């Protein structure tokens, strides 16, 4: 496997990705649990793929490294716990056309590819990503695009997969142009983790090709301050400078970022890179990810510690995407102490109780 320093292009990084136990063991000192997990990933389930760049962020000796825990398989992935689901967000049940999911009145999710630069071990779509199909041709997306065009109430398309920015630029541009040609579509969102796992993908060629179709918002997924490298920060800045608002959705992961100090450092770093922390997501109950998930109470406790400690622009919403695809629910500490006729007692982040008096009707 080529080192990170020797692979400059994003295409070269993809070609040099680690995809086997032998290649992984040459770079990392693997535990038995990781060896067993990687062997299992070669045979079944979510495959193994890590770019040289992202692998270079892993501590080669520490199995508890927060980057390593996100990308190196563990044998725990073979264990199912109560509540685990193959399709936790009910996307199969909410499919309205091939590769098209509708869970909300005004927006749809277009699954344009099954490929990613790195296969994150907590992936919501582990049922389908990396199955070998690759990007979906525009011809095979025609039914989905036609469905959207016949429904003017649809105002927004979220392009995901897989990772749409792992597609070649001309293919991605043709898809974005086809979406933008639908008169009712106001906003396009690209859901991607390549600023984190493959930052050299954010090239001027890419931003020049896509900026013609603004407004396009980029939704990315930084989960730990260790991922905020000079390369990834520069990738985000290239997007912002080209007119792409960048929002971040962190996934709350046990042993990775389930700590207020870690998340504070992450959110402050994102703001410095002009990336808005948007959501802190309760990890979806994907089959085989119980070892990476936290309780709902853990996330609420962390948000309570962060309230008032960091600026509001750095504080995301804590969100649980409800099982079965019933929609996102915001979670919050209990700041309302009591309510009576015309008066509400609120608890501040300092623990003070303050009365708010409603105006008369």
Average confidence (pLDDT) over 180-209:
98
Res 8: pLDDT: 86
> How do residues 116-127 score in pLDDT, each as one tens digit?
999 999 999 999
pLDDT at 3 over 60: no
Res 132: pLDDT: 75
> How do residues 324-334 score in pLDDT, each as one tens digit?
999 999 999 99
Give dist(CA 269, CA 278) in Å, integer. Answer: 14
User: Do the Cβ atoms of 292 and 122 come closer than 8 Å?
Assistant: yes
Give dist(CA 44, CA 249) in Å, integer. Answer: 28
pLDDT at 134 over 60: yes
Label residue 6 by pLDDT band (50, 70, 90): low
> How do residues 42-59 score in pLDDT, each as one tens digit?
999 899 999 999 999 999
Res 2: pLDDT: 42
Closest CA to 72 of 6, 134, 16, 23: 23
pLDDT at 4 over 80: no
Report the catalytic residues: 103-104, 107, 116, 120, 123, 125, 284, 321, 328
pLDDT at 301 over 70: yes
- The residue count of the chain comes to 361
- How large is the C-alpha radius of gyration of the chain? 21
- Please state, rounded to an integer, the average pLDDT across all residues of the chain: 96
- Which parts of the chain fold into alpha helices (H)? 10-15, 21-27, 32-43, 52-55, 68-71, 142-149, 169-180, 194-197, 204-210, 230-241, 260-272, 296-306
């Amino acid at each position: 496997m080529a080192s990170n320093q020797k692979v400059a292009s994003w295409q070269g990084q993809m070609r040099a990705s680690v995809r086997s136990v032998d290649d992984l063991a040459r770079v990392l000192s693997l535990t038995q649990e990781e060896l067993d997990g990687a062997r299992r990933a070669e045979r079944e389930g979510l495959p193994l793929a890590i770019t040289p760049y992202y692998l270079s962020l892993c501590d080669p000796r520490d199995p508890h490294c927060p980057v390593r825990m996100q990308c190196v398989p563990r044998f725990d992935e073979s264990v199912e716990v109560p509540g685990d689901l193959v399709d936790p967000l009910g996307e199969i049940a909410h499919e309205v056309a091939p590769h098209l999911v509708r869970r909300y009145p005004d927006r749809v999710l277009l699954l344009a590819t099954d490929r990613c630069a790195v296969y994150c071990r907590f992936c919501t779509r582990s049922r389908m990503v990396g199955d070998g199909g690759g990007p979906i041709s525009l011809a095979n997306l025609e039914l989905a695009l036609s469905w959207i065009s016949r429904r003017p109430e649809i105002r927004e398309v979220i392009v995901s997969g897989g990772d749409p920015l792992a597609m070649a630029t001309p293919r991605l541009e043709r898809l974005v142009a086809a979406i933008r040609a639908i008169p009712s579509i106001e906003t396009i969102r690209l859901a991607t983790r390549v600023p984190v796992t493959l930052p050299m993908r954010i090239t001027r060629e890419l931003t020049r090709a896509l900026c013609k179709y603004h407004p396009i918002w980029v939704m990315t997924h930084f989960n730990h301050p260790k991922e905020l490298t000079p390369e990834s920060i520069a990738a985000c800045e290239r997007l912002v400078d080209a007119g792409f608002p960048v929002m971040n959705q962190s996934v709350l992961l046990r042993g990775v970022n389930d700590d207020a100090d870690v998340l504070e450092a992450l959110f402050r770093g994102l703001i410095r890179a002009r990336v808005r922390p948007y959501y802190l997501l309760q990890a979806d109950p994907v089959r085989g990810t119980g070892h990476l998930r936290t309780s709902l109470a853990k996330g609420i406790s962390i948000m309570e510690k962060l309230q008032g400690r960091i600026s509001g622009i750095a504080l995301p919403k804590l969100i649980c995407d409800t099982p079965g695809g019933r929609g996102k629910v915001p979670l919050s500490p209990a700041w309302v102490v009591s309510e009576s006729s015309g008066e509400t007692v609120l608890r501040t982040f300092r623990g003070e109780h303050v009365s708010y008096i409603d105006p008369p009707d």
